Amino acid sequence: MSGSSSRGRLSALADRWLPKLVLSPTLAASLIFVYGFIAWTGWLSFTESRLMPRYEWAGVVQYQALFENERWWTAAANLGLFGGLFILFCLLVGLLMAVLLDQKIRAEGALRTVYLYPMALSFVVTGTAWKWMLNPDMGLQKVVVDLGFTDFTFDWLVNPDMSIYTVVIAGVWQSSGFVMALFLAGLRGIDDSIIKAAQVDGASLPTIYRRILIPSLRPVFFSVLLILSHIAIKSFDLVMALTGGGPGNSSDVPAIFMYQFAFTRGQLGVGAASAMMMLFTIVAVLVPLMYMETRSAKRV
């Protein structure tokens, strides 16, 4: 009797502490590897670290160096250009495909498989494939020239004014199927009775989509924006594999800038400052989006 009750008390005690104990390694890891490391990088960005880290306070010299660096501004402008176009085209293509696929299509499963498989690929593979397709001597340009359009040129990959757009092409190819899947899931989640009621009222299908279905996708829309801007800001492997940031620095992005200054050029301080700028960008973009997402999710 007393034995079983003490066992009961013991297990009650265990049940009180076990959950915290189980969670604690992950929490500790998060405190060190996420929060601690962000603080560490932040500190480095205020020192004169070059080849080796130093920890004496030096003020904002690294940020000054960063903002006076033309290459940084090229990278930032490219991010804006690439990010904007990448998000725009992914949204357009993804939404269009989702609406088309929602028309009781016969081979829907097979088509979805085809649209989504690029998501399973590494960005390095995608970059390699498109680097070959866009090769000005032997790629798509040659295909069109062979068709008889001898003046046709498509040299974006080696053209400093156009190289960043090749990243958009490959990025949209990789990610738009995913956007389609999210929108399609959203469309399928909408109550059928709304559509039926609208049809009874005599609304045509395009009107139903424009006025009812697509507006009710608002929460999905914000999720998609969130994910796409996240992918865009972090994009590194795709650019490395496709253009390597070139020709010259013409398709440089902040992630490549950070990597090269921190790890190949021995400019730790500048690298740390650029990493902090990337963090600020993510926060500045994601926080308002998350706020809008939760608000619109509550309303629907």
Partner 1 sequence: MFKNLTVGRALVYAALLLMAIYYLLPLYVMLTTSFKSLDDIREGNMLALPQLWQGGAWSKAWAEACTGVECNGMQGFFWNSIKMTLPAVAISTLLGAVNGYVVSMWRFKGSDALFTMLLVGCFIPFQVVLLPMAQLLGYLGLANTTAGLVLVHVVYGTAFTTLFFRNFYITVPDELVKAARIDGAGFWTIFFRILLPISGPIFVVCIIWQFTQIWNDFLFGVVFAAGESQPITVALNNLVNTSTGVKEYNVDMAAAIIAALPTLFVYMVAGRYFVRGLTAGAVKG
- State which of positions 63-122 bind partner 1 (CB under 8 A): 93, 96-97, 100-101, 103-105, 111-122
Cβ(175)–Cβ(119) below 8 Å: yes
44 in contact with partner 1 (CB under 8 A): yes
Q: Of 54-62, 66-74, 159-167, 235-243, which segment contacts partner 1 by CB under 8 A?
A: 235-243
Q: Which is nearer to partner 1, 3 or 206 (CB)?
A: 206
CA dihedral angle for residue 281, residue 176, residue 188, residue 219, rounded to 10 degrees: 10
27 in contact with partner 1 (CB under 8 A): yes
* Interatomic CA distance for residues 90 and 209, integer angstroms: 19
Shortest CB 100 distance to partner 1, Å: 5
Shortest CB 2 distance to partner 1, Å: 16
Question: Which residues make Cβ contacts (< 8 Å) with residue 217, sequence separation at least 6?
Answer: 183, 186, 187
47 three-class SS: strand
Q: Of 63-71, 78-86, 157-165, 258-266, which segment contacts partner 1 by CB under 8 A?
A: 258-266
Q: Residue 290 is which amino acid?
A: M
* Interatomic CA distance for residues 116 and 105, integer angstroms: 17
Q: Residue 134 is which amino acid?
A: L
User: Torsions phi, psi of 47, nearest 5?
Assistant: -120, 180
CA distances (Å), 12 to each of 16, 24, 142, 238, 246, in order?
6, 19, 74, 52, 63
Q: Binding pattern to partner 1, positions 271-290, x when CB under 8 A?
A: xx-xxx-xx--x---x----
CA dihedral angle for residue 215, residue 216, residue 222, residue 223, rounded to 10 degrees: -140
Give the count of alpha carbons within 13 A of 43, CB side only: 11
Which residue of 95, 157, 167, 182 would you call a contact of partner 1, by CB under 8 A? Answer: 182
186: tokens are 């959203």
Which residue of 2, 5, 26, 193 would you call a contact of partner 1, by CB under 8 A? Answer: 26
Which residue of 79, 90, 258, 270 would you call a contact of partner 1, by CB under 8 A? Answer: 258
Which residue of 6, 64, 153, 204 would you call a contact of partner 1, by CB under 8 A? Answer: 204
Which residue of 62, 78, 216, 223 would you call a contact of partner 1, by CB under 8 A? Answer: 223
Q: Of 56-64, 84-92, 158-166, 236-244, which segment contacts partner 1 by CB under 8 A?
A: 236-244
Which residue of 166, 178, 213, 249 would you call a contact of partner 1, by CB under 8 A? Answer: 178
Q: Of 58-66, 71-79, 156-164, 231-239, which segment contacts partner 1 by CB under 8 A?
A: 231-239
